């Protein structure tokens, strides 16, 4: 294996001791039609790839999609995948070419994990519609674990204003609710209809009635 060009090397990995201990996670088990369940599993701490970071999870929300996965209504794309795509945590190890965050930074891990960056949807800023997109907790293990790996380009810096548990639901229900609210383009004093009141609606309703900055 050839060495990486010097300019792609990140700062020295602070400690590899995190990989010395086992990681505990909740993985989808059972089969379609069986009783839905998640099973506690012990696994090696995942290693971040070239432009990925390893995050020590401090909070992870539960989305209805996680339950669809556990119930096999949404077929897991990997056996024993670990759900969880509203994860907040601390960067503990950076991949060799990951420079966007420092060790110790607090980041969020959301549903959208990767897009191609080249298709029509990606080039129009609608990467959520990318046909080659991949997803946290579906294509790759998510945040129902002590550690999760995320591509740095798809991690979110979490502002200090939010606690871990407050920030977690923003990473799925907040993102889709905010997008829907913007696309609704409600005029000042206008009326907003919310149909199906779930996790995103409770965030969207707070945004809709909050004083505008
Ligand atoms: Zn979700
Ligand atoms: Zn794309």
H/E element holding 59?
Answer: strand 52-60
Residues that place a CB less than 5 A from ion ligand 1: 63, 65, 172
Per-residue pLDDT reduced to its tens digit, 32-62: 667 768 999 999 999 999 999 999 999 999 9
Q: Which of 24-28, 51-55, 74-78, 155-159 has the lowest mean pLDDT?
A: 74-78
Find the ligand nearest to 87 CA.
1
Mean pLDDT of 106-127: 96
Q: Per-residue pLDDT for 2 more than 50?
A: no
Mean pLDDT of 1-10: 45
Q: How many CB atoms lie within 10 A of CB 201?
A: 16
Task: Report, in angstroms and rounded to the nearest whole number, the Rg of the chain calculated over CA atoms.
Answer: 18
Quick check: 54 and 47 in contact, CB under 8 A? yes
Q: What pLDDT is recorded for position 31? A: 73
Tokens of 85: 């795509």
Q: Per-residue pLDDT for 4 more than 90?
A: no
Rounded to the nearest whole angstrom, what is the distance from the C-alpha of residue 136 to the centroid of ligand 2?
16
Quick check: 83 and 26 in contact, CB under 8 A? yes
Per-residue pLDDT reduced to its tens digit, 166-210: 999 999 999 999 999 999 999 988 999 999 878 899 899 999 998
3-class state of residue 110 by DSSP: coil
Quick check: 33 and 72 in contact, CB under 8 A? yes
Per-residue pLDDT reduced to its tens digit, 102-114: 999 999 999 999 9
| 196 backbone dihedrals φ, ψ, rounded to 5° | 85, 100
Rounded to the nearest whole angstrom, what is the distance from the C-alpha of residue 95 to the centroid of ligand 1?
26
Q: What pLDDT is recorded for position 199? A: 87
Q: Per-residue pLDDT for 134 more than 70?
A: yes
Q: What pLDDT is recorded for position 37? A: 83
Rounded to the nearest whole angstrom, what is the distance from the C-alpha of residue 111 to the centroid of ligand 1?
6
Closest by CA to 10, choosing from 99, 103, 93, is 99
For 87, how many CA atoms within 13 A lie in the half-sphere containing its CB?
32
Q: Per-residue pLDDT for 1 more than 50?
A: no
More confident residue, 151 or 213: 151
Per-residue pLDDT reduced to its tens digit, 145-174: 999 999 999 999 999 999 999 999 999 999
Distance CA 137, CA 111 (A): 7
Rounded to the nearest whole angstrom, what is the distance from the C-alpha of residue 84 to the centroid of ligand 1?
8
Per-residue pLDDT reduced to its tens digit, 80-103: 999 999 999 999 999 999 999 999
Q: What pLDDT is recorded for position 56? A: 98
């Amino acid at each position: 294996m050839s060495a990486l060009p010097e300019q792609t090397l990140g700062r020295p990995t602070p400690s590899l001791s995190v990989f010395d201990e086992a990681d505990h996670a909740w993985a989808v088990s059972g089969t379609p039609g069986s009783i839905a369940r998640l099973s506690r599993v012990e696994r090696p701490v995942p290693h971040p790839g070239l432009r990925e970071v390893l995050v020590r999870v401090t909070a992870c929300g539960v989305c209805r999609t996680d339950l669809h996965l556990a119930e096999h209504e949404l077929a897991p794309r990997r056996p024993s995948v670990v759900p969880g795509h509203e994860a907040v945590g601390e960067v503990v190890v950076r991949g060799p070419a990951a420079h966007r965050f420092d060790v110790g930074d607090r980041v969020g891990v959301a549903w959208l994990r990767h897009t191609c960056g080249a298709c029509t949807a990606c080039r129009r800023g609608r990467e959520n519609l990318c046909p080659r997109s991949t997803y946290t907790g579906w294509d790759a293990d998510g945040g129902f674990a002590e550690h999760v790996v995320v591509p740095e380009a798809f991690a979110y810096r979490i502002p200090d204003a939010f606690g871990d548990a407050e920030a977690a639901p923003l990473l799925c229900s907040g993102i889709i609710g905010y997008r829907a609210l913007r696309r609704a383009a409600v005029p000042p004093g206008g009326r907003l209809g919310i149909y199906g009141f779930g996790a995103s609606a409770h965030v969207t309703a707070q945004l809709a009635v909050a004083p505008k900055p």
